[in-house]
Amino acid sequence: MSASLHRIGTTARFSEIVIHHDTAYLAGQVSQLSEGDISAQAQDVFDKIDALLAKAATHKGQLLSAQIWLADMADYAAMNQVWDAWLADVDAPVRVCVQAPMAKKHYRIEVQVIAALA
């Protein structure tokens, strides 16, 4: 392992976080809520991202980019309300949001972020 490469939460399949130089790359996050609307699932995902960013010694104010996948674009406006509230006190990163089939039927959202270290 390179001195400039650090992995956190590594399993045989993936790492939760990979830190390379001054950048943290988080694995895609999904909600484990088997029920709940997009607002509840989005908040759960953003809370998980906050916790992982803390593990990487950074925070959402350091976000560089976000990729968001929605199971249904009809959830776009409601997800954006949660997103806007989550980022209300920081500058927003670059972002993409698309519709995509999810790995499990109850997943409504998946989010992957990249952040600079604080």
Helix axes 76-86, 38-55, angle to 10 degrees: 40
Tell me the pLDDT tens digit for each residue of 17-66. 999 999 999 999 999 898 889 999 999 999 999 999 999 999 999 999 99
Are 53 and 60 within 8 A, CB to CB? yes
* Residue 2: per-residue pLDDT: 62
Domains of the chain by range and CATH?
5-116 (3.30.1330.40)
Mean pLDDT for all residues in the chain: 96
* Residue 35: per-residue pLDDT: 81
pLDDT exceeds 60 at position 1: no
**Chain centre to alpha carbon of residue 29:** 5
* Contacts with 28 (C-beta within 8 Å, 6 or more apart), sequence order: 67, 69, 110, 111, 112
The enclosing H or E element of 78 equals helix 76-86
Tell me the pLDDT tens digit for each residue of 76-101. 999 999 999 999 999 999 999 999 99
Instruction: State whether residue 52 is helix, strand or coil.
Output: helix
pTM assigned to the model: 0.94
